[in-house]
Amino acid sequence: MTVVLVDTANVVGSRPDGWWRDRAGATSRLLDRLAALPGRTVAGPDGDPVPVTGLVAVVEGQAREVAAPDGIQLVRAPGSGDDAIAGTAATLAGGGDDLLVVTADRGLRARLPGAARTAGPGWLLDVADRLSTLR
């Protein structure tokens, strides 16, 4: 059982699709795509099955007020998104599920608890692309 913690700003910013013109809209579109992930088992970044029991997404800045789709828990960062992700990861790592943090930020990865695994935005976007074909 795995909880996926998403650095939404990092994932949204990983594809040059015009997200900078509407950060909140781009974040909402990403979250809508990710809403199909909880409750599914997907191929993890290493190819092994990952049963996703929960999805937690940290939103910040202009995207802080986006709506949370069903099945996704939002953490609205009052300041630094990285601080909110590191703090949330520390809390989640103490639970009974595995933790998979999605970010490409090396500095943030260094701040995560030792029990947390990481994946890059490309992995998550590929999973979302595959799930969209199943709908």
Residue type, 9: A
| DSSP secondary structure string for all residues of 43-99 | E-TTSSEEEEEEEEEEE-GGGTTPPPPTTEEEEE-SS-HHHHHHHHHHHHHTSSSEE
Note whether 93 and 115 are within 8 A (CB).
yes
Note whether 59 and 49 are within 8 A (CB).
no
How much is the pLDDT for 94? 86
Long-range contacts of 14-19 (CB under 8 A, 24+ apart): 14/104, 14/120, 14/121, 14/122, 14/125, 15/121, 15/125
- Tens place of pLDDT per residue across the chain (135 aa): 999 999 999 999 888 888 878 999 999 999 999 999 999 999 999 999 999 999 999 999 999 999 999 999 999 999 999 999 999 999 999 888 899 999 999 999 999 999 999 999 999 999 999 888 765
pTM (two decimals): 0.94
Which CATH class for the 2-73+80-132 domain?
alpha beta
CA of 127: how far to CAs of 6, 34, 61, in Å? 13, 9, 26
The per-type count for the chain, helices as H runs and strands as E runs, is 5, 6
Locate the domains of the chain by residue range: 2-73+80-132
How much is the pLDDT for 49? 96
